[in-house]
Amino acid sequence: MPHMVRETYTGAYYEVGHSRGSLEFIPCDVHPGAETNDDLQLYVEGEVDNPEDAPVVKEGTLTRFTAPGYLDCTPWELVE
């Protein structure tokens, strides 16, 4: 069995910009009911852009690699 396995999520997700110049994708299941971008700070590298704004919610498929039995995983990526 490979050390890292692919995990796929389909459904609603947050799209959050941050100070490192890119977007983070966070499944809504992780933090349901987030009212501001600041509510999602824990899940973002760097500082969230526009912390008082409502997060952008989209529908789609995300994927990442995770190591079963460990806390290691890669950031979620959008499957286009």
Domain count, the chain: 1
Per-residue pLDDT for 2 more than 80?
Answer: no
Domain of 33, in residue numbers: 5-64
Assess if residue 24 is contained within a domain. Answer: yes
Span 35-73, pLDDT tens digits: 999 999 999 888 999 999 999 999 999 999 998 888 788
Assess if residue 52 is contained within a domain. Answer: yes
Assess if residue 59 is contained within a domain. Answer: yes
Assess if residue 31 is contained within a domain. Answer: yes
pLDDT confidence tier of residue 4, bands split at 50, 70 and 90: confident
The phi, psi pair for 61, rounded to 5°, reads -120, 130
Residues facing residue 25 across a β-bridge: 15
Assess if residue 48 is contained within a domain. Answer: yes
Assess if residue 69 is contained within a domain. Answer: no
